[in-house]
Amino acid sequence: MIKELIIRFDYHSGKTVKKLRELELEKKKINNEDEISKLKERIDALQQEYESKLKPIVLVAGCVAQAEGEILLKKEKYIDAVIGPQSYHQINEIILKLEQKLRSINFTEFDVIEKFDSLNSVKNSDNKVSSFLTIQEGCDKFCKFCVVPYTRGPEFSRSIEEILIEANQLVENGAKEITLLGQNVNAYNFETKRLSDLILEVSKINNLERIRYTTSHPRDFTEDLIEAHKNCKKLMPVIHLPVQSGSNKILSAMNRNHTIEEYLNILEKLKKIKPNIKFSSDFIIGYPGETNNDFAATMKLMNDVKFINSYSFIFSPRPGTPAFDLNKIDQKEAKSRLTQFQKLADEKKINYRKNLINKTALVLFENKIKDKNKYFGRDEYSNSVIVETKENLIGKIKVVKILNVNHNTLLGKTIHDINQTNYAA
């Protein structure tokens, strides 16, 4: 058993919390054989495909790879390197080393500070209109189904100063929109500064028009963050707030540490201060122990909240997590529930989108569609919008009239610039 002491400031209680986290990774590795055999099938197929060709460089990446690095390299000689999420920034260097025939390297060690230092120099050359900026890594929540706390380590927040330097450089290079990223982004906490403080600082950057953040946890959705949605005009009016289930029994079994009432209360407070706000969410269907009643509660939640977007999956046990050994519910039943849920979620999404026809949206245009006079952008709710025009729209915010919708995209025509109108979203 590996043990690790986590020390962090808990701003719910205002106290420093010390927690002994027991990583059961060693014990669970025995169960990871299933995952490794699936990977072996993929490697075998690759080997066959390249039998008469030059061997490609084979990298295995991701959270499970992080947990299984040593075993993978020992078992699969065709793999050249295993790369954990903490080492993605080293990928160019890794490939170069492999090209120089330095084989079988395990790049899965935690070194979050070094990773962020390196990302500084990579990301600042980015000149996208819409850019991502990682502000936080890791998670202390230990939801029973999730591998992140084991593979990405405890919560770590970058300094405001460092983030602002990077944000300014992104904007200098053309970014009009920045999405602040973190596994548990609203747990951001650097020297008592929270996400709301950071948003306020980032919003002061001239020429930055839009701020988003993802992914949030309901437990960390504090009053100051709710207030930020009232005070910061650059903060977009859509929040992705994973709920996973509509049943309190299942939320407790998942160790989500909040009830459905608390979740809905956050949404209500946000709607009160910003009536045009919308929500999207993640759902796990068929979690061990989910009954018909629990599932009905999840369907009710979708009906009540009318999420404009949702991501739903059947529970899939991740090696190394406490939920891995739980008894799965009947899989035919789980599939049937997922189908019902996705049908309802689709109905909500389609209705929402149909209602946008003949209305206007503020769209920030990101790029031109290849070989066509069509431009792609996103409205305030992150909906994809395409318009046809000869005018170069990249980097501009325009008022667009929505003419038609399909499942994933809104089609419209530009009316005028945002600064030529009194249009208020």
Q: 179, 184, 280, 382: which one contacts ligand SF4 (CB under 6 A)? A: 184
Residues 6+ apart with CB under 8 A from 227: 196, 273
Report d(CA 347, CA 334) in Å as an integer.
20
Task: Decide if residue 217 touches ligand SF4 (CB under 6 A).
Answer: yes
Task: Decide if residue 281 touches ligand SF4 (CB under 6 A).
Answer: no
Residues 6+ apart with CB under 8 A from 226: 266, 269, 270, 273
Report d(CA 343, CA 338) in Å as an integer.
8
Task: Decide if residue 148 touches ligand SF4 (CB under 6 A).
Answer: yes
Preceding peptide of 215 cis, ω within 30°: yes
Tokens of 148: 């992140």
Q: 146, 167, 356, 402: which one contacts ligand SF4 (CB under 6 A)? A: 146
- Closest approach, Cβ 244 to ligand SF4, in A, equals 8
Residues that bind ligand SF4 (rule: CB under 6 A) add up to a total of: 10
Q: Please state, in angstroms and as integers, the Cα–Cα distance from residue 163 to each residue in 186, 330, 364, following that order.
A: 15, 47, 23
CB nearer to ligand SF4: pick between 32 and 151: 151
Nearest CA among 189, 178, 147, 144 for reference residue 63:
147
Piece in contact with ligand SF4 (CB under 6 A), picked from 32-40, 145-153, 304-312, 403-411: 145-153
CB nearer to ligand SF4: pick between 139 and 239: 139
Task: Decide if residue 141 touches ligand SF4 (CB under 6 A).
Answer: yes
Tokens of 289: 């122990």
Task: Decide if residue 320 touches ligand SF4 (CB under 6 A).
Answer: no
Task: Decide if residue 63 touches ligand SF4 (CB under 6 A).
Answer: no
Q: 72, 135, 143, 170: which one contacts ligand SF4 (CB under 6 A)? A: 143
Report d(CA 199, CA 46) in Å as an integer.
45
At position 141, the amino acid (one-letter code) is: K
Report d(CA 131, CA 169) in Å as an integer.
11
Task: Decide if residue 241 touches ligand SF4 (CB under 6 A).
Answer: no
Piece in contact with ligand SF4 (CB under 6 A), picked from 139-147, 197-205, 271-279, 291-299: 139-147
- Closest approach, Cβ 182 to ligand SF4, in A, equals 9
Task: Decide if residue 182 touches ligand SF4 (CB under 6 A).
Answer: no
Q: Which residues bind ligand SF4 (CB under 6 A)?
A: 139, 141-143, 146, 148-149, 183-184, 217
